[in-house]
Amino acid sequence: MAQLDNLEKPRNNSIKKDAASERKLNFLEKLYFPEILKALAYTFKQMFKPRVTMEYPEEKWDPPAIFRGRPVLVEDNGQERCVACGLCARACPPLAISMQASETEDPKERYPTFFEINMLRCIYCGLCEEVCPEEAIVMSKDYDITFKSREEAIYDKSKLMIPKEELKERLDYLKEYRNRQFGQFWNFPEENNIHAVRPRDENWDTGLSLVDMLEEKNAEDTKSKSTN
Ligand code: SF4
Ligand code: SF4
């Protein structure tokens, strides 16, 4: 059995080391008053600076469009854009989304008979928005979420559907930063991303990757600029 003869050593060593490296206080520092006055002067100076806090919840913060609040379903002309493809539910890390698909006669073809997000599980990661091919689920600005029971925390379509007009800022943000391909490489109008069948007979598939196409287009742009 190993001998336990060195148990006191680390404690002794640490005490000695700390004591040796401790800075010696001068007379004023030992009094503490100058430091207290310095802190009070700093606080006084801050009183005249512009306020950066707000009196929540009386005052509400309006977050910028990049903010990821609770996920909501986009309501377009009275109906959800969602086609119940299930991609968001598959991508959701904490498995917060559940839905049931059904078929319809209109060009949209599919819709969710129920769509639920368990807000106790949601971690606001935004992956559902990222994978949605229809821009049907987006992150809203709503961060003020409360519930009194587990049942209340399960948001169904009645709580999730928000008219697209109210989500304009986020949709514009996504358009600018995510959907840059619209009007550039794909031969279908932006509206066709929503609810409608894409013109599949048109030969938009050039066999090039998006990166290759970007490079090709940049090269064309530079060429046309230099000839002008
Ligand atoms: S934000 Fe993330 S966690 Fe919440 S529903 Fe979407 S994918 Fe799931
Ligand atoms: S919200 Fe989007 S990803 Fe989720 S089921 Fe509907 S269409 Fe598919």
pLDDT tens-digit series, residues 61-116: 999 999 999 999 999 888 898 989 999 999 999 999 999 999 877 666 789 999 99
**Hunting for tokens 């490296």 — which residue is that?**
21
Task: Read off the pLDDT band of 180 (50, 70, 90).
Answer: low
Note the pLDDT of residue 198.
40
Burial of 91 (0-12, 13-18, 19+ CB in 10 A): middle
Report the atom number in ligand 1 closest to the C-alpha of 91.
7
Is the pLDDT at 182 greater than 70, yes or no? Answer: no
In the chain the domains, ranked by start, together with CATH numbers, are 71-177 (3.30.70.3270)
| Best residue among 72, 92, 134 to mutate for probing ligand 2, ranked by most atoms within 8 Å of CB | 134
Question: What residues line ligand 1, using a CB cutoff of 6 Å?
Answer: 71, 91-94, 96-97, 117, 122-128
For residue 85, give the ligand 2 atom closest to its CA.
8
Structure tokens at 134: 């229809």
Q: What percent of the chain has pLDDT over 70?
A: 73
Q: Which ligand is nearest to the CA of 112?
A: 2
Q: Are 138 and 170 in contact (CB under 8 A)?
A: yes
> How far is residue 128's CA from residue 119's CA, in Å, rounded to a whole number?
13
Which of 108, 122, 137 gets mutated to test ligand 2 (max ligand atoms within 8 A of its CB)?
137
d(CA 228, CA 221) in angstroms, rounded, equals 11
What is the CB neighbour count within 10 angstroms for residue 14?
10
Q: What pLDDT was estimated at residue 2?
A: 52
Q: What does the pLDDT look like over 141-172, one tens digit per residue?
A: 999 999 999 999 999 999 999 999 999 999 88
The model's pTM is: 0.66
